[in-house]
Chain A
Amino acid sequence: GQNIDQPTEMTATEGAIVQINCTYQTSGFNGLFWYQQHAGEAPTFLSYNVLDGLEEKGRFSSFLSRSKGYSYLLLKELQMKDSASYLCVLDNYGQNFVFGPGTRLSVLP
């Protein structure tokens, strides 16, 4: 089976940097997604990592290490609108997608 772990909640200050970690156990997968979800809304795509390493996209960066079973999402220059849940998702070669429990991030002024 597959198992994904994320911290349940995190709090950070506006303008700061926060790193949301995701660890997983799986026998194989195609890639790893990060999604952002605001309360009552559908998830929105943030990043997709296939290869090990860091993918940078504006204020958001995502890192993957397959050997360590580890990924993280890095958010820089935090804004109040970044308060949301962040979902780590394994892509099983497009056949299905396994969602982590999500991390609720609260950005404080």
Chain B
Amino acid sequence: GAVVSQHPSWVICKSGTSVKIECRSLDFQATTMFWYRQFPKQSLMLMATSNEGSKATYEQGVEKDKFLINHASLTLSTLTVTSAHPEDSSFYICSATGTGGVNEQFFGPGTRLTVL
């Protein structure tokens, strides 16, 4: 199956700093990448959808200036949490869909962000 990686897998940062999370499709070209956030004991909440070379589409209530998404190539998307605060502490998961077959999402392993 297709493989999606995320880096880092776990990050702790101070309040007010920025954190960048990378999402890579390792063995396929991802036409679309999705960023999700998941709080404990809750389901995944879609933050934004990004297509290569175009601006991301953010879900209602997600601040685009705070969560910067860049999808510069068909294999890489980045999410930057700017001026992070403790309430941004969460599990961030990316997923990618390819060009053919079922619209299956291939999920990255997730990044656990803790803001002190």
Residues of A within 8 A of B (CB): 30-31, 33, 40-45, 48, 85, 87, 91, 93-102, 104
In the assembled complex, how far is the CB of residue B82 from the closest CB belonging to chain A, in whole angstroms? 24
Contact A42 B43 (CB under 8 A): no
Q: When the two chains form the complex, which single residue of A30, A41, A101 contacts B42, counting CB atoms closer than 8 Å?
A: A101
Q: Besides A30-B103, A42-B108, A101-B43, 4 other CB < 8 A contacts? A: A40-B91, A41-B110, A87-B43, A94-B32
Query: Considering the chains assembled together, what is the distance between the CA atoms of A44 and B109 in angstroms?
Result: 10
Contact B43 A94 (CB under 8 A): no
Q: Is the interface of B mostly helix, strand, loop or mixed?
A: loop
Q: Which residue of A lies closest to B1 (CB)?
A: A45
Residues of B within 8 A of A (CB): 1, 32, 34, 41-46, 49, 91, 93, 97, 102-105, 107-110, 112
Query: Considering the chains assembled together, what is the distance between the CA atoms of A61 and B24 in angstroms?
Result: 31
Query: Considering the chains assembled together, what is the distance between the CA atoms of A33 and B91 in angstroms?
Result: 21
Q: A31-B103, A102-B43 are in contact. Are A97 and B109 (CB under 8 A)?
A: no
Query: Considering the chains assembled together, what is the distance between the CA atoms of A45 and B105 in angstroms?
Result: 8
